[in-house]
């Protein structure tokens, strides 16, 4: 693993739950990733532009701008079209997964996720 910060993948975690943000941040930081967090879609949109993450985890159910809307807006920007977006949800329904695909998400993780699920999703979409 490289110790140079410019080689480190930037992972963004967007969730209105501080517990989920902190858990994901801790697990990812331990693996050497740079982690950016946001608590809702509006905050996330400005941070995506500022930090240009390599991968985005986004909760579906959030106030103001939900995960579907935020994902659609991120993917609508040509600069971030190829940035992988992984939806996070406590619901594991076919409809939710399909709706996530429609707005451009690349994967879907059900909460609570395990360390292996979280890191496996990162490894599948990000090259360190």
- Average pLDDT score over the chain: 92
Mind listing the pLDDT tens digit for each residue in 82-126? 999 999 998 878 898 999 999 999 999 999 999 999 999 999 999
- Residue 6, SS3? helix
CA distances from 73 to 11, 49, 78, 85 (A): 18, 12, 10, 11
Domains of the chain: 5-125 (3.40.50.2300)
Residue spans of alpha helices (H) in 31-128: 41-51, 67-76, 94-102, 115-125
Q: Fill in the DSSP letter of residue 79.
A: T
- Residue 95, SS3? helix
Q: What is the mean pLDDT of residues 31-47?
A: 96
């Amino acid at each position: 693993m490289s110790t140079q910060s410019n080689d480190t993948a930037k992972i963004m975690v967007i969730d209105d739950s501080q517990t989920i943000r902190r858990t994901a941040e801790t697990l990812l930081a331990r693996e050497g990733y740079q982690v950016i967090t946001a608590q809702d879609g509006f905050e996330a949109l400005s941070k995506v532009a500022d930090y240009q993450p390599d991968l985005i985890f986004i909760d579906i159910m959030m106030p103001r701008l939900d995960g579907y809307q935020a994902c659609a807006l991120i993917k609508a920007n040509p600069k971030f079209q190829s940035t992988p977006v992984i939806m996070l949800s406590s619901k594991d329904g076919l409809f939710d997964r399909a709706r996530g695909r429609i707005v451009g998400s690349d994967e879907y993780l059900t909460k609570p996720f395990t360390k292996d699920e979280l890191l496996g999703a990162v490894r599948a979409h990000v090259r360190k």
